[in-house]
Amino acid sequence: MESLEQIKARAEAAIPGAKIDIVPNLGPANQPSLLIDNEHAPAIAKFLRDDPTLRLDFCSNVTGVDWLDRVTKKTVKVKKVVEGEEKEVNEPIEERIPGYLEAVYHLFSMAHKHGPITIRMRTRDRGEGARLPSLTPVWRSAEFQEREIFDLYGIRFDGHPDLRRILMWDEFEDHPMRKDYVQPDDFEWEPTPHDDVLARAKQHYAPRPAEQELRPS
């Protein structure tokens, strides 16, 4: 099979404006992946599926990954005027890397029996910008798995035919696979009473004036 560099070069030549980066994998498994840009993702996916030498017609695994905001510390040499003299001083700086959500697709070829090729897409941020183009029109097997990512990670897939919650119930509000998900205090009575339900519950259990008078002192 071709190397990832060759695939990247051919795909970028075939689709004008497409941008593909290679994400290295340092572990012993040595499965590096292709980071494809969101705008051209369906076109790149179609290219990977239909190209006669690749024929990645089998999208095996689709999943999400949550990467939180990170702060990395670096030391940088800075020129400073110390006591009237210009000196080079090591100064620690903090670099803030904003968090994002990631969708990872593992592709194989049933025609040529090779693989896996891993492609991934990243969202702009973890809030409102958590949107990605859906690849379900290219590979049908992504249908339920993208719904699962939407359910558990909260990535909205534009162009998905039927984007609903799949494992959690429809009224559930949070996304339980996110790294900053907080579990409810009380599993027994989930969803816990809140707002008007809580107000009614308090009213119900509040001691009534007549009862207070009847109580022996």
Partner 1 sequence: MSATVQTLEAMERPPVTMSSRLEGELLEVSMGPQHPSTHGVFRMNVTLDGEIVRKLKPVFGYLHRNHEQIGEQTTYLGSMPYTDRLDYFCSMSNNWAYALSVEKLAGIEVPERAEYLRVILAELTRLQNHASLLGFLLSDMGAWGTPLMYAFREREKILDLFESLAGSRMMCDYMRFGGCRVDADDNWLAGARKIVDRFPKFLDEFEELILGNEIVIARTQNVGKLSADLAISAGITGPMLRACGVNYDVRKVDGYGFYPRFKFRIPLGEHGDTYDRLMMRALEMRESVEILKQALAQIQPGAIVNPKAKIRAFRPPVGEAYGRIEAPKGELGFYLISDGGPNPYRYRVRPPSFINLTVLEDLCLGHTVADVMVILGSVDIVMGEVDR
Interaction site with partner 1 (CB under 8 A): 25-29, 31, 57-61, 63, 65, 104, 106, 110, 113, 116, 118, 139-141, 143-145, 152, 166-169, 176-177
Cβ proximity of 84 and 102 under 8 Å: no
CA distance 127 to 155: 9
Least Å from the CB of residue 211 to partner 1: 42
The residue among 87 and 179 lying less far from partner 1, judged by its C-beta, is: 179
The residue among 27 and 216 lying less far from partner 1, judged by its C-beta, is: 27
Helices (H), the chain: 4-14, 41-50, 142-153, 195-205, 209-214
Least Å from the CB of residue 59 to partner 1: 6
Least Å from the CB of residue 118 to partner 1: 7
The residue among 132 and 139 lying less far from partner 1, judged by its C-beta, is: 139
Provide the 3-class DSSP secondary structure of residue 187.
coil
Sheet holding 33-36, edge to edge: 20-23, 33-36, 117-122, 100-108, 58-67
The residue among 37 and 58 lying less far from partner 1, judged by its C-beta, is: 58
Residues 6+ apart with CB under 8 A from 124: 100, 130, 131
Q: How many CB atoms lie within 10 A of CB 102?
A: 20
Least Å from the CB of residue 157 to partner 1: 15
Least Å from the CB of residue 144 to partner 1: 5
Antiparallel, parallel or unpaired: β 85-97 and 70-82 = antiparallel
CA distance 98 to 123: 11
Least Å from the CB of residue 111 to partner 1: 9
